[in-house]
A = this chain, B = another copy of it.
């Protein structure tokens, strides 16, 4: 399967929107993310349902962030995207009759559950505002280097 990069994509889009005054069209977002406007609409549509962004049609339409950046966590975004499977490796059969396989599954599930819990906890403590601040830092560094 292809890797799911929607979380990465929406973060990229949201940060661009945060830096941009006014709304941005699907096409503009698609261009700066190297993808397709329809894909943008699909994923941004999920965020709209969650009240994180709003969309407007017609002239001067497009997408805007409606939520406070400091209240939106990566974990929330992960949930909004439908909590896609995090791991690319897993059990062959989730509900096996075979006792051997049950032992194997139990051991693996345990480890995966802990790793997932850690990841989601990390996600829960990173907000869009944090990312925006990190970007501002990088941007300042970049300008300092350029003007040196």
Contacts and interface: CB of A to CB of B under 8 A. Distances in A.
Given A90-B5, A115-B115, A104 B142 contact: no
Copies of this polypeptide in the complex:
2
A103 B138 contact: yes
A15 B106 CA distance: 14
Chain A interface SS verdict (over half): helix
A2 B111 CA distance: 20
Nearest to A104: B11
A74 B130 CA distance: 36
Interface of A: 1-9, 11-12, 15-16, 19, 32-35, 74, 84-93, 98-108, 110-112, 114-116, 118-119, 122-123, 126, 130-131, 134-135, 138-139, 142
